[in-house]
Amino acid sequence: MDRRYGGFKIHFSKGSNKLINNCSPITFCRSCSLRDRSDLSCSVHLYISAHTWSKIHSPTLSYPGFERSKAFFTVKAGPYTLLTKFSASLTADILGVRYFAKEFCVIIEKNQVFSITCSPSKSSAIDDVYAFINGIEIVSMPTALYYTPHGDLGANLVGNKFRFYIDNDTALEMVHRLNVGGRSILSVEDLGMFHMWLDDKNYFLQSSLLRVSTRNMITYTNIPTYTAPSRVYQTAWAIGSNQQTNQVFNFTWKLLVDLGFRYLVRLHFCELEFAIGQKQFNLLINNKIIETDADVIKWSSGNGIAVYKDCGNDGRRPITVPT
């Protein structure tokens, strides 16, 4: 069955092709329960060249005739293998959640047929395996949101003299997206890119700090408005009233990652109170300094102006970000 929306033509090999949300000409969402012991595929024919991010939703429920523990599958998107021998039930048990989504960024060239295929991963230990997907979202994204713009040398790679350059042949997976000092932001609340931002409390290592927030307007002078919603820049952690303001204090987050990959770490900042030179800090990743005497006002040129800093990390151990 084929459907065409904006620059996309979508074909599904199986399942009840039910469109649940066509937010704009660049957004397509599909909802169904696909489960089979053969391959499941979704093909997208693109009539305009674009960067896209794809989100694959995986429930953790059991279905009649399909044991939850036997869902091991591989997901391929075009020339990229996004998941290999993946188990949604094991992942959900480790994360302590009932459902989750895996989000990836890939490049689709003009007139290219882009296929997403979910295949059961055969194993000698488990013969009767199957594959399933609960939903697929495909959203076009601005060229330079994560990929290195032409002429840019790329982000600094922590602990190395090399640069972290992300070219158009690279597929990206979103690992963590956190709203520091604030509650989770639902995808429908991020009107720029429909991203979900999780509350960072489970990753933040300090306990004696206070959440602070503001209703002040955020200005996007240095970065596009779709980079992150204003609520990301309106919340933060602050030293409690029982702490001395001149005391040296670390703000540290710890994030688990898979070894063997490089990671783009994007840190979002917005100064809401102090003037230039009044608040300076050192920025470290895995105890390696990436910025000394950092001053958000110097970066942004004013209060209430959003800005971010990128750096690369080699993923040899969990990422810790103390400031």
Q: What are phi and psi of 291, to 5 degrees?
A: -160, 130
What phi-psi label fits residue 202: left (phi over 0), alpha (psi between -120 and 50 degrees) or beta?
Answer: alpha
Cα separation, 282 vs 99, in Å, equals 37
Range scoring the smallest mean pLDDT among 45-49, 70-74, 85-89, 266-270: 45-49
Residues in the chain: 323
303 and 231 in a common domain = yes
136 plus 161 within the same structural domain: no
pLDDT at site 136: 79
Answer whether residue 28 is part of any domain: yes
DSSP-assigned beta bridge partners for residue 12: 42
Identify the CA nearest to 121 among candidates 64, 54, 37.
37
Task: Indicate whether 136 and 178 sit together in one domain.
Answer: no
Task: Taking the CA atoms of 13, 17, 21 and 23 in sequence, report the sign of the dihedral they define.
Answer: positive
Radius of gyration of the chain, Cα coordinates, nearest whole angstrom:
21
Residues 6+ apart with CB under 8 A from 43: 10, 11, 12, 13, 113, 114, 115, 116
Residues 135 and 16 in one domain: yes
Number of domains in the chain: 2
Quick check: is 63 in a domain?
yes
108 and 10 co-located in one domain: yes
At 253, the pLDDT band (50, 70, 90 cuts) reads very high
Let me know if residue 259 belongs to a domain. yes
For 64, 230, 234, 277, the CA distances from 213, given in Å and listed in that order, are: 47, 11, 5, 22
For residue 44, the model assigns a pLDDT of: 53
Mean pLDDT of 82-89: 87
Q: Are 151 and 307 in contact (CB under 8 A)?
A: no
Report whether 30 contacts 20 (CB < 8 A). Answer: yes
Interior CA angle at 88 toward 86 and 91, to 5°?
A: 90
Segment 203-244, tens digit of pLDDT: 999 877 889 899 999 999 999 999 999 999 999 998 755 555
pLDDT digits (tens, 9 = 90+) for 306-323: 999 999 988 766 677 766
Query: pTM for this structure?
Result: 0.81
Contact in structure between 312 and 157 (CB atoms under 8 Å): yes
Per residue in 47-71, pLDDT (tens digit) is: 444 456 666 666 555 666 677 777 7
* Domain hosting residue 10, numbered range: 2-141
- Alpha-carbon distance 81 to 41, whole Å? 14
**Are residues 239 and 295 both part of a single domain?**
yes
**Average pLDDT, integer, range 146-166:** 88
SS percent in the chain: helix, strand, coil, step 5: 10, 45, 45
Residue 133 sits in the same domain as residue 85: yes
Strand partners, 230: none
Long-range contacts of 243-251 (CB under 8 A, 24+ apart): 243/208, 250/206, 250/322, 250/323, 251/204, 251/206, 251/209, 251/322, 251/323
User: Do the domain assignments include residue 23?
Assistant: yes
Strands of 170-316 (E only): list them: 172-173, 178-179, 198-199, 209-213, 235-239, 252-255, 263-269, 281-285, 288-294, 307-313
Among 141, 170, 191, give the residue marking a domain's end.
141
Q: How far apart are CA 127 and CA 93, in angstroms?
A: 22
- Whether 254 and 118 share a structural domain: no
Q: Cα–Cα distance between 30 and 1 in angstroms, integer?
A: 13
